[in-house]
Structure 1
Amino acid sequence: MCCCCWLLLFVVVIVVEFRQIRATPTRISFNAAISACEKQGQWQLALQLLSEMPVEGLPPDKISYNAAMSACEKGAQWQPVLALLIDLRLASFSPDVISHSAAISACEKGRQWQIALGVFSQMPEMRVVADRVSINAAISALEKGRRWQLACALTSSMQLRRIAPDLISFSAAISACEKAGEWTLALSLLRNMPIVRVTADLISYSGTLSACEKVGRWQLAFAFLQDMSELRLVADTIASCSAISACEKGGQWQKALSLVRELEGQLQASVIGISAAMSACEKGRQWELALNLLSEMPSRRLAPDEISLNAAISACEKGCQWQQAAHLLNNMHLASVLPDVISFSATISACEKGRQWQLALGVLNTIPKMRLLAHEICFNAAISACEKGGQWRQASGLLSDMLASRLSTDEISFSATISAVEKAGQWQKALVLLSSLPVKSVTPDEISFSAAISACEKGQLDFSRDAIDSARSRDVASAVVNKLLQSGEEQVGGILASEIDELVADPRISTHIIEGLADHGMPHLAAEVLASMLRSRVEANMIHVSAAISASEKAGLFCPTWP
């Protein structure tokens, strides 16, 4: 009979047999039974035995509590452990390092790093000296809580406590640094391990590799793989994939492919590694190599997933291979993979590069049917596709759809649309779009201005940059006037403050605002605007004063009361 069976049998004898023969169990027998439950992870039974001890006239002692706490710790039951820790103190027993270690470790398993740190901090108050087990449990709790600074500080403090950190200490601290992208600290911890005579293992190297991968330190990744080989540590899936991904982030597609070939046997079960290599090929514009990797996946007994297929589509998009991208998108269902927004946006972008505006619009229209929401990248690519195809109405419609859907528009959205209407000689629409940019919190760029000017030239209009700027200032002023008319004098200062940068950059806007209020017969608002200008850093001149006086005359007032 195996050891585990003997332990369970022992528990049964304690709980059942004693009652059947009416024998009186002892504290030692109860403690042994609770300890057996702890070894088998039977925390509920351990708590039941602990609760029955007082019934049998046997108050639990420190050993009883510690055994029950350890059972709960192994079952990741941090709340019962903390309750037992409190009961231990109420029972006039001083919790020892075993009690605290079990509580900290239970909190670590339950991802309660704050409580774990609190229990650890209370140990000096309880006159309990922390040992390596309790410190390691606290470091692991901080690692799971992504508190890399505290984890590193606690690891460093071990030497001050005259406790040598071990493999668990370093591995947990390295993992904390890896999660935070602190690759330099992870590297420092790994290099310090031989100094304290601790041999790094696969977990330590994998954690450091992963930290370097996040910042694309592919040279270090290769060096670590070499070190692991010299130590006869076989790189697992995590280490191998981290190294390949580091090459991908560092733009080293050749190195990524080399690693795939070298680690062929170890990557049999890793879609992540192949996907990272494909992504490296995509960044290196090696679409054919990316497709080769995709085609090799079945022979590796790997099923392509969403990430690998998206990497292949993106590679085709970078290589201007719209047919291949569309083919991959249409056949994703054959791999039992549903396309996501990334799949669609990459395909639309590929169609845009191939000047296939009809196909781009078809793909865009498919997105809602898949119960997905098209984002800005999808619309911008589709607008650019329509611009290249000379479809200004389609481009304008897509921009209107973006605004109606409250999607974020940017310079690309407007520049492509303005360029589309420019090619069609629609100078009025070009100017309207250009003047609406500030209202949409978009800064016009050189492409927008050039396209608008070109549209005016094609319309045989002598519009200069100043004329375009004037249209823009009137549009901004009109928006401010509407806000002022909907509010009152008390809100003038706040409204002007929100437009202060525009008013300083273009004094014509202030004049248009006062003139606009005059046209609406609102001399008091016009006067308040002028007063607010004088109180702020907006320069006021005679033109502004004249406009305010004109507002009073239009309202039939000789002179308004100036604030």
Structure 2
Amino acid sequence: MPDKKSEHGVSRLHFLEERDEETLSRRLIKLSQNNKVRSATELFDSMRTSGLQPSAHACNSLLPCYVHRSPLADAMRMFEFMKAKGMATGHTYTLILKAVASNQGYVSALEMFNKIEEEEDSKKIIDVIVYNTMIYFCGRAKEWMLVERLWRRLEQHSLNGTLLAYDLLDNIFVQCGQSELAIAAYQEMLQKGLDPSEDIMKAIIASCTKEGKWEFAMSTFSRMMRAGMNLGLILFNSIINSLGKDGQDELAFRMYHLLKQSGLKPDQYTWITLLLALYRSGRCWDCLKLFHGIKGKHPTLLNDHLYNTALISCEKLGQWEHGLQLLWLMEKRGLKLSVVSYNHVIGACEVASKPKVALKVYQRMINQRCSPDTFTHLSIIRACIWGSLWTEVEDILEQSSMATLWMDIQMQILV
């Protein structure tokens, strides 16, 4: 029995007493399924040497063995043989592209895919699963532009995207920050009568809220509710935040009530988004009222972010006394007082024309070793100017060592 050198090493050729191609092909399938690569290779080479042709099913069974357990050259040899004999299927192309992408990277796989697409015989064989494979590998490399191109080519070749294809598209576009494309892929999926998965709809809601498309987010949310899907706190918070940003405070509170009806408990982020929804809608008094409600019923949830959100309304209303009370409460509770916290109270003093109180807050800030920023200096100096406290203005300018600060203030006064 002569030996034949192949990419697997030395492949022993056998004299085949059995000459029936179908029977031998079944043996080849069984050997491949049992991962007996060497034995399967010897039988494959022996059949070819004897002028017998393995079936397409047999070759497709052996190819995955080469892909997972042998060098890429072995898989390529089998692929070229199958293509030459007209036995290559969509599954064949999927396997070989996976092998090339895993061994040589997505760029090599894409080059191979482009060549396959140009071949007339291959065009008829490539199916949506082959496209899914390339979309996956390009998406894993964060190449969203290539993914979009593959998606468009899928349409050009009149291939209908599967649920898996749209799942891949949405996840890739969301991860790459391409919200518009994610929403477009989702809408196309709905138009084709496909039912999106829970993960896809959650990703779409995240994209919609990011883009400020709260109406589309709400419709997707309603679809999830009708389907009995799991609606988590993060999802509610995301929509409440989006509604608040667009000044839809009443809808934001409807979502909050729905959240409670769903048996969920609001967290710190929920309250922050509701407070900001009221503030952005110009309902600053309601914002402070809600804050005190939270302080009374959920004191353990209070953190520096919630206090700062309430301080924004104090600044807007010029409620310097209220702002001071919140500032002292923060100190008493041991919460972090940042430059932002002090700035809001100084801003409230400026609005209320209380320059001397603003100076005391400013001095307290310095004593607590909290470094003032440009906004601090601009606010405290404006307050002192309108109070004609010129000596204090000079002292602050000297302490700040900011040569351009005075020019900034003069420009604001002129405006």
Q: TM-score, normalised by structure 2?
A: 0.64
2:196 to 183, 195, 200: 200
- Which residue of structure 2 aligns with residue 386 of structure 1? 384
Deviation string 1:456-503 (CA, Å, 9 cap, x unpaired) is: xxxxxxxxxxxxxxxxxxxxxxxxxxxxxxxxxxxxxxxxxxxxxxxx
Cα deviation digits, residues 179-215 of structure 1 (max 9, x gap): 6776554433222112333212333333333333234
Against the structure 1 CA distance between its residues 153 and 125, is the aligned structure 2 distance closer, same or farther, given a 3 Å change threshold? closer
Residue of structure 2 aligned with 1:243, choices 239, 244, 263: 239
Counterpart of 1:124? Answer: 113
1:321-357 CA distance string (max 9 Å, x none): 2222233333335666423332232222122222332
- Contact kept, 8 Å, 1:101 with 1:137, in 2: the verdict is no
1:279 Cα deviation (Å)? Answer: 1.0
Cross-structure match for 2:7: none
Asked if structure 1 preserves the Cα contact closer than 8 Å seen for 2:67 and 2:99, the reply is no
Decide whether the 8 Å contact of 2:131 with 2:150 is kept in 1. no
Counterpart check, 1:231 vs 2:227? yes
Letter of the structure 2 residue corresponding to residue 315 of structure 1: S
**Paired amino acid for 1:135:** M
Percent identity between the aligned chains?
17
Alpha-carbon offset, residue 250 of structure 1: 0.9
**Cα RMSD after superposing both structures:** 4.1
Contact 2:217 2:239 in 1 (8 A): yes
Decide whether the 8 Å contact of 1:217 with 1:247 is kept in 2: no
1:485 corresponding residue in structure 2: none
Alpha carbons of structure 1 residues 150 and 250: separation in structure 2 relative to 1, 3 Å: farther
Q: Which residue identity lines up with residue 229 of structure 2 in the other structure?
A: L
Q: Counterpart of 2:301 in 1: which secondary structure? A: coil
Check conservation: 2:209, 2:242, Cα contact below 8 A: yes
Give the structure 2 partner of residue 397 of structure 1.
395
Taking the TM superposition and a 5 Å limit, the aligned residue runs for 1:438-449 are 445=414, 447=415
Task: Indicate the SS of the match to 1:193.
Answer: helix
| Equivalent runs, 1:74-223 vs 2, <5 Å | 88-89=71-72, 92-94=74-76, 97-98=94-95, 101=98, 117-124=106-113, 131=130, 133-138=132-137, 140-141=139-140, 145=142, 148-160=144-156, 164-175=160-171, 177-178=173-174, 184-223=180-219
- C-alpha separation in 2, matches of 1:302 and 1:28: 63
Task: Note if 1:280 corresponds to 2:277.
Answer: yes
Q: Secondary structure at the match of 1:131?
A: helix
Distance (Å, rounded) in 1 between the aligned partners of 2:381 and 2:135: 56
Which amino acid counterpart does residue 330 of structure 2 have in structure 1?
M
Q: Which runs of 5+ in 2 are unaligned?
A: 1-30, 37-62, 80-92, 118-125
Summarize the Cα distance change of 1:62–1:255 in structure 2 as closer, same or farther, 3 Å threshold.
closer
> Matched residues in 2 for 1:105 and 1:314: separation?
53
Q: Secondary structure at the match of 1:263?
A: helix
Q: Deviations over 1:96-132 (max 9, x none)?
A: 74575488699xxxxxxxx964254244279696725
Supply the distance in 1 between the matched residues of 2:407 and 2:221 (Cα, whole angstroms). 45
Q: Residue 349 in 1 paired to residue 347 in 2? A: yes
The answer to which structure, 1 or 2, has the higher relative contact order (CA under 8 A, 6+ apart) is 2
**SS of the residue 2:71 aligns to:** helix
In structure 2, the residue corresponding to 1:277 is in which secondary structure?
A: helix
C-alpha distance in 1 between matches for 2:312 and 2:99? 50
User: For the Cα contact (< 8 Å) 1:269–1:302, is it kept in 2?
Assistant: no
1:173 CA displacement? 3.5
Letter in 2 for 1:124: F
Maintained 8 Å contact 1:104/1:117: yes
The 10-residue stretch of structure 1 (380-389 or 285-294) with the greater mean CA deviation from structure 2: 285-294
Shift of 1:292: 4.4
**Secondary structure of the equivalent of 2:353?**
coil
| Cα separation, partners in 2 of 1:162 and 1:62, compared to 1, 3 Å | same
- Distance in 1 (CA, whole Å) between partners of 2:66 and 2:332 is 59
Task: Flag the 1:376–1:193 CA change in 2: closer, same or farther, 3 A.
Answer: same
Question: Are positions 1:260 and 2:256 aligned together?
Answer: yes
- Deviations along 1:367-423, one digit per CA (max 9) or x if unpaired, are 566665433222211112222332122224334555x246x648752256xx6xxxx
Counterpart selection for 2:356 from 332, 340, 358 = 358
CA contact (8 A) 2:275 2:287 kept: yes
Q: How does 1:307-456 map to 2 (within 5 A)?
A: 307-332=305-330, 337-367=335-365, 373-402=371-400, 404-405=401-402, 409=405, 413-415=409-411, 445=414, 447=415
Counting only pairs closer than 5 Å after superposition, residues 36-51 of structure 1 correspond to structure 2 as none
> AA paired with 2:317?
G
